[in-house]
Structure 1
Amino acid sequence: MSEQLRRFFSNGTTAEIAKRLLGKLLVYHSPDGIMSGYVTETEAYLGQSDSTAHAFQGKRTPANEALYGVPGTIYIYSIHSRLCLDIATQAKDVPEGILIRGIEPYQGLDFMNQNRPRHGFELTNGPGKLMEALGITDKQMNLVEFGEGALDFDLRNEKVPHQIATTARIGVSNKGTWAQKPLRYFVKGNPFVSKTLKRDIDLKNYGWQEK
C-alpha cells in the first residue's frame, strides 16, 4: 500500500474517514479490464462497542479477521447471499471499518452492465449491487490491502460533494441504540445512493461541486 493510502485510512476517526471517502475513486483491475466509480455512500462501524458491528464485544473469527488488519485492509463479507465491501480503518487489532454502499460508475460501464441485469441508477446504488456490477463473486481479496492487489483507490482523481448528508445506517440489526446512530454518509442529490427518491436527485451535477 502506498504511504498516501496508508495515511488516508489511518488519519482520523472511522466516521471522519467514512465522510472523506465520498468522492474518492474506487478502482478494480478486473480480469476483463478496469472498472471504477466515485464513492457516493458509506457507513461507519465502530468495532467492539458497536452492537451492530461484526466485531461487537471483541468477536474475532476467521470470517471477520480482516477487520483486525492494518488500516486499508479489504474485508469482504456476505449478507443475504450478496457480497459487501468493507475497509479496516484503525490501527491493527482495532476492528473498526467502513462499508462502501454506493459508487457512481466512471470506467468500465460496459463491463458493469454485462455483470448486472439492472442498469442506470440501479446499477451500483447499494453495497451488494456494486459488487455484482464489478463482477466480484468471491472473497479471495479478503485480507489484502488496497493497492496491493486488484482493488485500489485513486486519491488523485476525485469529486467533491456539494453537501454530505448523514442518517442512521440502513438494514442493521436492531440491537440497542446503535442501530439509530447517525453513521451513514452520502452525497446529497446523487442518484447512485441507495433508497434515493427521484424528487431528491440533482440531475444537473449529481450532488458534486462544479469544477
Structure 2
Amino acid sequence: MKVQPLPQSFFEQPTLELAKGLLGKLLVKESASGTASGWIVETEAYIGPGDRAAHSFGNRRTPRTEIMFAAPGYVYTYVMHTHCLVNVVSGKVDQPEAVLIRAVEPYQGLELMYERRGEKKKEQELTNGPGKLTKALGIDRNDYGRRFVEPPLYIAKGRQPGIIMSGPRIGIDNSGEAREYPWRFWVKGNRFVSR
C-alpha cells in the first residue's frame, strides 16, 4: 500500500504540539531491500536554546546540529554510543528545536525488521526504543538533512493514537532542571513504548 507523505504545513506547528501530533502517524523508510514502516507511539520534544537537554542549548551551532537551525520538517539523525537516532526538526528557521522519535509499532516490512535486528528478537523488542527503531527501519546517518515530506524517509497520515500520556524525558540525567520537563509523550498502553 503506497501512502502519501504529510504536507509541509503539518511540521509547522509548535514543537510540543508536533511531538503530540506525531503520535499515531506512520514513519516510512524505503530502501533497496524494501519498505519498512511503523506507527509512532512515543516522542520527546527538545526546545533548544533554553533547554539544557537539547543539542542546540545556548544556540550551540556545530556541523552536527546545523540542520536544527533549518526549517521544520528536516531529518536530524545523529549517532549516540553506537545507535543512530532520528529527530524531526521543528521550530522556525534559526530556532533550533526537534522531536526525537522514541518508539514505533511495526506496520510494514516485519521480515526486513527481523533481518536487521536479529531473528531471535521478540516482536515487541524490534522497535521499542530510539536506536532499535532506526535499525529496524534502516534509518541511518545518510538520512541526515533529508525532508520528511518526500521519500525515501517520510511521515504519512496515520491512525488515532488513543490516550496520550506525558512525563519526563529519558536518559538526560545531567541536564539540570530540564530533566524534569514533561516533554515525553506516548500512547497509553501501547506495548512498543520504550519503558
Give me the TM-score of the superposition, normalised by structure 2. Answer: 0.93
Aligned partners of 2:166 and 2:182 also within 8 Å: yes
Aligned partners of 2:5 and 2:156 also within 8 Å: no
Once the two structures are TM-superposed, the CA of residue 79 in structure 1 deviates from its matched residue by 0.9
In structure 1, the partner of 2:122 is: 119
Range moving further from structure 2, 46-55 or 89-98: 89-98
In structure 2, the partner of 1:129 is: 132
Range moving further from structure 2, 50-59 or 158-167: 158-167
In structure 2, the partner of 1:103 is: 104
Identity of aligned residues (%): 44
Counterpart amino acid of residue 11 in structure 2: F
In structure 2, the partner of 1:45 is: 46
Matched, 1:153 2:155: yes
Counterpart amino acid of residue 66 in structure 1: I
Counterpart amino acid of residue 79 in structure 1: M
1:85 partner SS: strand
Q: Which has the higher contact order (CA 8 A, sep 6+)?
A: 2
Once the two structures are TM-superposed, the CA of residue 141 in structure 1 deviates from its matched residue by 1.4
Q: How many residues align?
A: 190
In structure 2, the partner of 1:167 is: 167
Q: Structure 1 regions of 5+ residues with no counterpart? A: 196-211
1:8 partner SS: helix
Q: 1:134 to 1:175 in 2, by over 3 A?
A: same
In structure 1, the partner of 2:8 is: 6
Q: Structure 2 regions of 5+ residues with no counterpart? A: none
Matched, 1:76 2:77: yes
Q: How many Å separate the matches in 2 of 1:21 and 1:151?
A: 15
Q: How many Å separate the matches in 2 of 1:105 and 1:175?
A: 32
Computed over aligned residues only, the root mean square deviation of the Cα atoms, in angstroms, reads: 1.5
Once the two structures are TM-superposed, the CA of residue 72 in structure 1 deviates from its matched residue by 0.4
Deviations, residues 26-58 of structure 1 (Å, cap 9, x unaligned): 111111111110000000000100001000001
Q: How many Å separate the matches in 1 of 2:36 and 2:159?
A: 17
Q: How many Å separate the matches in 2 of 1:119 and 1:65?
A: 37
